Structures are given as structure tokens and as C-alpha cells.
Amino acid sequence: MGTVAPMASPNVLIIMADQLAPHFTGTYGHPLVKTPNIDALAERGVRFDNAYCHSPLCAPARFSMMSGQAVSKIDAWDNASEFSAAVPTLAHYMKLSGYRTALSGKMHFVGPDQLHGFDQRLTTDIYPADFAWTPNWEQADERIGKWYHNMDVLRDAGQAVTTYQIDYDEEVGFAARRHLLNVARDTDDRPFFLIASFIHPHDPYVARPEWWGLYDDDDIDLPDMLSPAEMDPHTKRVHHGIEADAVGFTPDQARNARHGYYANTSYFDDWVGSLVRTLDETGQLDNTVVMVVSDHGDMLGDRGVWFKMSFHERSARVPLVMAGPGIHQGSIDAACSHLDLLPTLLDIATAGGNWPELGADLDGRSLWDGASGGGAQPDETFGEYCGEMTSHPMFMIRRGKFKYIHCDTDPPLLFDMSADPLERANLADEPSHSEAARSFAAEVQQRWDSESIRSRVVDSQRARRTLHAAMSEPPINSWDYQPVSDVANMYVRNHMDWAEAGSRSRL
């Protein structure tokens, strides 16, 4: 089947979760987790079954998605790395393609530029925009207790009427829905590009009762555990860093945490449904490409660890579902990543025509040909991790059925993902796979200069620690985003005709 061009300049809505692994959605086959709205999108669109984050940590994952560039090219090392204002983003390119652009919710921008090409930010971010969360590779074994994850979140998992995360997502969802209503009733005929980015199901695993009540404790599946002796070195570092080795967790705590995660996944799914219904109610659904994605996954106890920071599947894989004009129905097995979203959006925005002039070389490829029913797709992607729980860069190559993971301090890892989806059998030292292991090792050496990258990371960390110390001294000047609210022109004001204001706002 040939490639089908999208309708000219369709709207684009990206709905983003935080820490949602596809393995824990009904859309990707989990027998318990209820995600009817993502399911519905997948049924009328395309589901990518091997989509990865480029870097399994919040800010680096998002910066690489926004820029279409590897983290080592844009110095997006960790959750306190500045996202430079000089880096062109998908928001810049969509604006150059004739779109009005807006962001509602989290994007974990660090630094004084809190827009990065968006015309509007509808909310503030949920996390700080400064350098407070800078790791220290020169003292990599020291745990930063103030902001490292630990087992407290398993102990505290459960139900609540509200939390700061629920407060945030209610604001994000309301603002996104209001924005969709506003663009439907204004006179601007440009297409819109909106990202609605929620914090759930990110830990802590605390859910409102109506979502918690969707699941029975007795039905919650327990994680596939490994003993410390069976863990690879990086998994051991994560195991230690999150205090799973010292504090541990019980089966009941694991079940409770997963219960909360499943509940909050259904909560996120409900927001997907609300925004899609809003598109339908406002007559915009047929000309809007809707995408659902996450920044990274959550190990949820697999291998004995939780959260992310790992290139193992439940941490590094992300859901990616697209539906809308020109998108065919089906699924795609070929590996892809966040790096591919920017070129895909450019193909959507330009109907496969002339892109705006690129301000930087892109590291991804467009997925549009596959999404629109084209032929076989390249089956490879790459990853880089330079955050906490390590002292040296980590690299991942996923190609065909193989995944290869390298870190200078660790033995290499090679997995056959077709035969061993849980990644339990390291084939790197198996004679039957020696040629593949040697080839991947040589490619790592050719593709990355690990020593140089480590030097750049350490230098960046030193500088940011100094800057954070200075910025912490009074008076405090915050980079945190303050949403603009033009109250002088909202609702009914003296410079408006009361009757005209009513008719103008009615949809």
C-alpha cells in the first residue's frame, strides 16, 4: 500500500502521560488494566509496539522528544540540565508551519526559557525549573535523600481525596479542555498544536477512591523479581539507590503500589477520553491527529526495582498511539523512539511536503510512512542515559530482535527480545552470539565517545552545583513559570457589549 498524505494541515493534539509503561495498559494487552479511551484510539488508528524513550528519565526524555536530538548533542543529561533556548523544538517548527501552539502541563523545562517555542503555556510546571536536582558523578555512591525515590512511596500507596498530583492534573485537563473550546469558537483559522501533559501515573501511587475501586486487591499481579545475585550491575545500583536493598518491600506493598498505579493509569485514560470527546463536541475530531505517549515507563518491581533510570523494557518502553486523518488502522512492530516524533509532526504539518528549514540535524526519522499504511519500516533506535544511579554514560541499541546495553563500568548486556521479552538471559558472552556482541560493541565505540561525554557531564554537574548554591541565597529569583491570565479580557468586562460577549463565547 502506498503512503497516504494527511489532510492539509490537520490539528495535532498530543496527550502525554508520565511514567506510563505500555505493558500496564489494556491497549497493549494487560488483562486487568482498564484503558478504554486509549484502546478506542488504537482501534481506529495505529499502535507502535516497540516505541522507546531516548533516555529513561523525565527531563532528558522530554528534551530529546522536543528537539529530535540525542541528549549528548543538547547536554540534556539529567533532571536538572538546562534546556537551552538555542535548541530548536517541535513547537518552533510547528509555528513555522503555520500552527498556533500551546502547552498545558508538565514538560520539565529547566532554565529561564519556559516556553521553548510555544505561543502559550496554560499552566505552570509541577517540578522546579532550577538546578536543584543535579546528580554528582564524582560521588556517585552517595544517595541524595531529598529527591531520590525510595521505598516510602510503596509504604504510602493507597487512596486519597486529593494529592498535589491530582490537583495538578485537574488543572492541566481543565486548561487543555478550555483551550480546545477556545480554538473552536475563535476566528483564527490556523490549525492548532496542543500538548496536554499529565503527571499520572507517576509515583506516589495514590489514587482517588473511584479509580482505586476499579480494581480488586486480590486481582493485582505481582512483579517478576530477581535476587540481588541475579541482577546486572546497573540494576543493583538502582536497587541500592532507591533503598530497596536496605528497606525492601513486602508483597502486600508491591500489590498496593501496583493497585495505585493501575488506578491512576485509568485516571489518565479518562482524561484522554475527555479531550477526545471535546474534539468531537466541537467538530474538530475528523481533522485532528491525536497521539498518546509517555516520557518513559516504570519498572513496577520487575527485576526487584521500581521507577525508571534503566534501559530494561518496563522503564525504557513507552506507549505510542496515533489516530486521525490519513492514519491507517493496525500496529507496527518496528522499533522507534521519541526522536522520531519531531520529523513525524513535520510530515503531518506539511502534508509530506516541504519542511521549514531545520535549525539542527535531527537524530530521528519520520514515522508517517508507516502510520499512513506505507511499507516496511526501519527497525532500530538508540538510547543514552547520563542521570543518577550511574557514574558513566549508558548506551542502548535496539535493532531487530536484539537489544544491546553498554556502560564502561559494567559487562555488556545483549538480549533477544523475541525469545526473551523479560530480558533474563544475557547473551553477550554466549558463543552462539559472539559475532552479534562484537558487532554491537564496535558500533558503540564508533557511535559514542564515552570518555568525552563523561567529562562533559561532570563539568556540567560542577557548574550547576555552584550556580544552584548561589541561586539559593536570598533574594530568590525563580525560573518557575507563572501562567499568564488576561483577566481584563475574560468573561464580561466594561469594554464589551454584554449581549455580544454572550453570543461570541457560545459554541
pLDDT tens digits along 320-363: 999 999 999 999 999 999 999 999 999 999 987 899 999 999 99
* pTM, rounded to two decimals: 0.96
Which positions ≥6 away from 132 have C-beta within 8 Å? 80, 147, 468
By C-alpha distance, which of 93, 89, 133, 134 is closest to 107?
89
pLDDT at 400 > cutoff 80: yes
pLDDT, average across residues 54-58: 98
CA dihedral 100, 368, 36, 27 (to 10 degrees): -140
Mean pLDDT of 121-127: 97
Q: What percent of the chain has pLDDT over 70?
A: 98
Amino acid type, 410: D
Give all strands of the β-sheet with 320-323 in edge-to-edge order: 120-121, 100-105, 192-201, 11-18, 288-294, 320-323, 46-48, 330-332
Whether the pLDDT of residue 184 is over 60: the answer is: yes
CB 187 within 8 A of CB 216: no
CA angle 97, 98, 101 (to 5 degrees): 100
Position 282 pLDDT exceeds 80: yes
Which pLDDT does position 141 carry in this prediction? 82
Please report which helix (H) or strand (E) contains residue 331, including its range.
strand 330-332
Parallel, antiparallel, or unpaired for β 11-18 and 192-201?
parallel
Contacts of 170 (CB under 8 A, 6+ apart): none
Structure confidence at residue 5 as a pLDDT band (50, 70, 90): very low
pLDDT at 57 over 80: yes
Concerning whether 108 is annotated as a catalytic residue, the answer is yes
Residue 380: the pLDDT is 97
Q: How confident is the model at residue 505 (pLDDT cuts 50, 70, 90)?
A: confident
Average pLDDT over all residues of the chain: 95
Domain 11-139+148-381 has CATH 3.30.1360.120: no
- CB burial string 268-306: b at 16+ within 10 A, e below: bbbbbbbbbebbeebebbebbbbbbbbbbbbbbbbbbbb
pLDDT category at 149 given cuts 50, 70, 90 is: confident
Q: At 383, which amino acid appears?
A: G
Give the whole-number percent of the chain exceeding pLDDT 90.
89
Give the pLDDT of residue 2: 38
Q: Is 80 exceeded by the pLDDT of residue 146?
A: no
Whether pLDDT at 3 is above 60: no
Catalytic residue among 23, 53, 58, 406: 58
Q: Are 222 and 254 in contact (CB under 8 A)?
A: yes
Please report which confidence band the pLDDT of residue 490 belongs to, taking 50, 70 and 90 as the band edges. confident
Query: Is 106:121 a contact under the CB 8 Å cutoff?
Result: no
- Per the model's pLDDT, the better-predicted residue between 1 and 243 turns out to be 243
Please give the average per-residue pLDDT across 402-425, as a whole number: 98
Question: Any bridge partners for residue 321, and if so which?
Answer: 47, 292
Give the whole-angstrom CA distance, residue 367 versus residue 51. 11
pLDDT greater than 60 at residue 26: yes
Residue 63 C-alpha from the chain's centroid: 10
| 30 classed as catalytic | no
DSSP-derived secondary structure letter, 279: H
- pLDDT band for position 487 (50/70/90)? confident
Q: Provide mean pLDDT across the span 368-376.
A: 88
For residue 83, the model assigns a pLDDT of: 98
Provide mean pLDDT across the span 268-285.
98
Q: What is the pLDDT of residue 4?
A: 44
Hey, where are the domains in the chain? 11-139+148-381
Amino acid identity for residue 489 in this structure: N
Q: Which of 23, 54, 92, 108 is catalytic?
A: 108
Tell me what pLDDT residue 451 has: 98
